[in-house]
């Protein structure tokens, strides 16, 4: 007998040039899903949704072939590389229509897939969001571990609510996803937005492993851009800091002015050159920093105002809605209209 009350779970996996690791990921996740279904934790309609984020290797071919063989495997192919966060969102929004809950996980199996079972149990207990939190970061490099820790501290100081050591490994209910959809911003930083949604949530701890195969798709450049995005998408603190520095410089210049006048009265006027050149450089530098920070926000306003779509779906093996290219259709219609 099929129990209709069991939740439909979709596991969403963004993939960018993951041909080396994908076959193993598919194998392990399919096994996990089958166990969950057999143990009556999730519905038999549950599936795995792989989002190909414009890969240049055989990633999409692997997904397509598996889709033919393995009934759990569904795929979504983005028309270009939209970035991890956008690819993830594309998958979550597609999955939302046909699932009661979704779990997002990276393709490299660094996150312990066995805790997905605990996620589902927490969901059964009434949690709308379940965060996977890394217990240790032994497998990360010294540099990555410490920059990450410093970053969480810094964000907290700025008043940004992040779950420390939580990447994008989490469960979200349909209700939470519907709320997420209402956040229309283009500069997407999911880790910051999701705690803003609310609903009851839980944390599950696990050990993060080494990447199974392939290499990180997050080089230092992308990591820095991502970290900066997190700050400027959620906080105006950098602008405040610039204002504060501005005040400091203003007070300092009053003092320096008094000093210069006293020096002049005392007749030591020629000694002013050093202080003059230093203040010119100092103020020039501060102005440049200020302009840079303001520019960062103007850049954000610019992209929000343009309102560009965040991604375009090319092929959809998930909802089976065929998106035909513009010229496919009935040519007779065109002929009729031209008459």
Distance from the Cα of residue 237 to its chain's centroid: 21
Among 9, 67, 73, 83, which residue sits at the site for ligand UDP (rule: CB under 6 A)? 83
Stretch in the footprint of Mg ion (CB under 5 A) among 25-33, 110-118, 190-198, 325-333: 110-118
Residue 110 sits in the site that holds ligand UDP (CB under 6 A): yes
Which listed option, ligand UDP, Mg ion, none, makes contact with residue 15 (CB within 5 to 8 Å by class)?
ligand UDP
Q: Select the span of 2-10, 170-178, 210-218, 276-284 touching ligand UDP (CB under 6 A).
A: 210-218
Q: Does 165 bind Mg ion (CB under 5 A)?
A: no
- 179 is a site residue for Mg ion (CB under 5 A): no
User: How many chain residues touch ligand UDP (CB under 6 A)?
Assistant: 16
> Which listed option, ligand UDP, Mg ion, none, makes contact with residue 218 (CB within 5 to 8 Å by class)?
ligand UDP
Applying CB under 6 A, the span of 14-22, 147-155, 189-197, 294-302 interacting with ligand UDP comes to: 14-22
18 binds ligand UDP (CB under 6 A): yes
> Is residue 108 involved in binding Mg ion (CB under 5 A)?
yes
Burial of residue 210 (number of CB atoms within 10 Å: 0-12, 13-18, 19+): exposed
Task: Convert the chain into a string of H (helix), E (strand) and C (coil).
Answer: CCCCCCCCEEEEEEECCCCCCHHHHHHHHHHHHHHHHHCCCCCCCCEEEEEECCCCCCHHHHHHHHHHHCCCEEEEEECCCCCHHHHHHHHHHHHHCCCCEEEECCCCCCCCHHHHHHHHHHHHCCCCEEEEEECCCCCCCHHHHHHHHHHHHHHHHCCCCCCCCCCCCEEEEHHHHHHHHCCCCCCCCHHHHHHHHCCCEEEEEECCCCCCCCCCCCCHHHHHHHHHHHHHHHCCHHHHHHHHHHHHHHHHHHHHHHHHHHHHHCCCHHHHHHHHHHHHHHHHHHHHHHHHHHHHHHHHHHHHHHCCCCCCEEEECCCCCCCCCCCCCCHHHHHHHHC
Q: Measured from the CB atom, is 42 or 190 closer to ligand UDP?
A: 190
Distance, in Å, from the CA atom of 276 to the CA atom of 257, rounded to the nearest integer, reads: 10
Q: Which does 217 bind (CB under 5 to 8 A by kind): ligand UDP, Mg ion, none?
A: ligand UDP
Shortest Cβ distance from residue 258 to ligand UDP (Å)? Answer: 53
Least distance in Å: CB of 218 to Mg ion? 7
Out of 43, 55, 110, 232, point to the residue binding Mg ion (CB under 5 A): 110
For residues 210 and 110, the answer to whether their CB atoms sit within 8 Å is: yes
Per CB under 6 A, 217 contacts ligand UDP: yes
Nearer to ligand UDP, 83 or 230 (CB): 83
| One character per residue 238-267, x = contact with ligand UDP (rule: CB under 6 A) | ------------------------------
Indicate which single residue of 81, 98, 147, 253 sits in contact with ligand UDP (rule: CB under 6 A).
81
Positions in the binding site for Mg ion (CB under 5 A): 106, 108, 110
Positions in the binding site for ligand UDP (CB under 6 A): 14-16, 18, 53, 81, 83-84, 87, 106-108, 110, 216-218
């Amino acid at each position: 007998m099929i129990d209709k009350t069991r939740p439909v779970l979709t596991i969403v996996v963004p993939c960018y040039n993951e041909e080396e690791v994908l076959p193993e990921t598919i194998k392990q996740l399919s096994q996990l899903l089958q166990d969950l279904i057999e143990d009556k934790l999730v519905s038999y309609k549950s599936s795995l949704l792989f989002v190909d984020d414009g890969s240049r290797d055989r990633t999409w071919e692997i997904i397509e072939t598996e889709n033919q063989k393995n009934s759990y495997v569904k795929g979504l192919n983005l028309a270009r590389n939209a970035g991890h966060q956008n690819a993830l969102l594309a998958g979550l929004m597609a999955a939302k229509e046909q699932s009661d809950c979704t779990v997002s996980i990276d393709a490299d199996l660094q996150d312990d897939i066995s805790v997905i079972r605990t996620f589902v149990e927490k969901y059964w207990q009434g949690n709308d969001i379940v965060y996977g939190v890394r217990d240790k970061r032994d497998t990360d490099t010294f540099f990555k571990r410490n920059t990450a820790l410093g970053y969480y501290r810094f964000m907290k100081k700025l008043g940004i609510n992040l779950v420390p050591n939580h990447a994008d490994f989490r469960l979200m209910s349909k209700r939470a996803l519907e709320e997420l959809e209402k956040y229309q911003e283009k500069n997407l930083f999911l880790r910051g937005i999701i705690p803003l949604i609310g609903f009851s949530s839980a944390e599950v701890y696990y050990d993060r492993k080494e990447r199974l195969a392939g290499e990180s798709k997050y080089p230092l450049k992308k990591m820095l851009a991502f970290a900066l995005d997190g700050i400027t998408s959620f906080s105006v603190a950098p602008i405040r800091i610039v204002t504060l520095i501005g005040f400091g410089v203003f007070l300092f210049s009053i003092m320096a002015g008094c000093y210069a006048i006293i020096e002049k009265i005392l007749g030591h006027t020629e000694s002013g050159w050093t202080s003059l050149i230093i203040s010119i450089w100092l103020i020039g530098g501060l102005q440049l920093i200020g302009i840079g920070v303001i520019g960062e926000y103007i850049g954000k306003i610019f992209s929000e105002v343009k309102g560009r779509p965040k991604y375009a779906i090319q092929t959809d093996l998930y909802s089976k809605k065929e998106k035909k290219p513009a010229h496919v259709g009935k040519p007779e219609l065109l002929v009729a209209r031209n008459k």
